[in-house]
């Protein structure tokens, strides 16, 4: 659960951007983050796919996984690492296909507000210091790179993050987390659509339709 929570937190950062505040603000970086936040507020729904990569050269680790996320208001449906995490804003289901089980919990239990992508903006509003890092061209696109530093660094498994923003589309294309243990966590957006019609049924796990699945109710 904690691994999925961490991944969803990061995905939320990617999709919704991060509006951070700091006493000595980097004006250029703040302008980029403010534009991201303003645009995010116009999203009624999000449909995205992404590539997740974990690498640690010292430990000889290089893993890649594909994932997808749809969200609508406080509702979301995340697929990653063999798990499907679904929430209708009140109830959360974590379906693990290989284990043929689904865990049911309240969506509003302690810490679970961080799982909701629609609330990522609020959660991170005062969570980071930031500075403008550089301008690059990647895959033919002009990219602005902003470096983020968590204010509560002791509570985070990473010491900094790089946010890659498409200058023309004003969308995040990638985020890299620099782990304290030497691991790098890279999330690259492979597709991103907003304001599509998504039925509410996508945000509920119907246990009646899956009689073979063991139901573990944690409420």
Q: Which residue has the tokens 């990569």?
A: 53
pLDDT band at 111 (very low <50, low <70, confident <90, very high): very low
Q: What pLDDT score was predicted for residue 178?
A: 85
Residue 89 corresponds to which tokens in the numbers above? 């804003």
Residue 130: the pLDDT is: 85
Distance CA 66, CA 57 (A): 21
Using alpha carbons, list the distances in angstroms from residue 124 to 9, 118, 199. 10, 12, 28
Q: Which residues pair with 143 in a beta bridge?
A: 136, 166
Q: Give the side-chain half-sphere CA count within 13 A for 13.
A: 26
pLDDT per residue over 144-188, tens digit each? 999 888 777 677 666 888 889 999 998 888 888 888 888 888 888
> So what's the pLDDT on residue 129?
82
pLDDT of residue 115: 43
Give the pLDDT confidence of 2-52 residue by residue, as tens digits.
566 556 556 655 555 444 444 345 889 889 888 888 888 888 998 989 898
Beta strand 91-96 with 61-72: parallel, antiparallel or unpaired?
A: unpaired
pLDDT at residue 99 tops 50 = yes
Average pLDDT over residues 137-143: 94
Identify the pLDDT of residue 9.
57
Whole-number pLDDT of residue 114: 43
What is the per-residue pLDDT for 21?
A: 45
- Yes or no: say if 50 and 67 are a contact pair by the CB < 8 Å rule: yes
| Residue 95: per-residue pLDDT | 95
Degrees to nearest 5, angle at CA 61 with 59 and 65: 160
What pLDDT shows up at residue 157? Answer: 66
The span from the CA of 48 to the CA of 15, in Å, is: 8
Confidence grade of residue 123 (pLDDT, cut at 50, 70, 90): very low
Q: How far apart are CA 207 and CA 216, in angstroms?
A: 11
User: pLDDT, tens digit, for every residue of 43-84?
Assistant: 899 898 989 888 988 889 899 989 898 989 889 898 988 889
Please tell me the distance from the alpha carbon of residue 140 to that of residue 152, in angstroms, as a whole number. Answer: 36
pLDDT at site 197: 96
Query: pLDDT grade, residue 118 (50/70/90)?
Result: very low
């Amino acid at each position: 659960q904690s691994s999925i929570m961490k991944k969803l937190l990061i995905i939320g950062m990617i999709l919704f951007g991060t509006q951070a505040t700091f006493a000595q603000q980097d004006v250029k970086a703040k302008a980029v983050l403010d534009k991201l936040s303003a645009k995010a507020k116009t999203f009624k729904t999000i449909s995205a796919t992404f590539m997740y990569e974990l690498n640690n050269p010292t430990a000889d680790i290089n893993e890649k996984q594909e994932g997808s996320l749809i969200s609508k208001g406080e509702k979301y449906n995340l697929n990653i690492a063999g798990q499907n995490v679904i929430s209708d804003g009140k109830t959360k289901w974590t379906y693990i296909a290989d284990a043929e089980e689904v865990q049911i919990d309240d969506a509003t239990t302690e810490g679970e507000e961080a799982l909701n992508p629609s609330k990522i903006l609020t959660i991170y509003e005062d969570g980071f210091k930031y500075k403008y890092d550089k301008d690059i061209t990647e895959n033919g696109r002009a990219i602005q790179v902003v470096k983020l530093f968590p204010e509560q660094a002791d509570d985070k498994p990473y010491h900094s993050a790089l946010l890659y923003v498409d200058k023309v589309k004003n969308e995040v294309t990638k985020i890299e987390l620099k782990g304290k243990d030497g691991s790098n966590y890279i999330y690259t957006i492979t597709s991103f659509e907003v304001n599509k019609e998504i039925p509410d049924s996508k945000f509920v796990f119907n246990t009646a339709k899956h009689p073979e699945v063991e139901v573990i109710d944690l409420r």
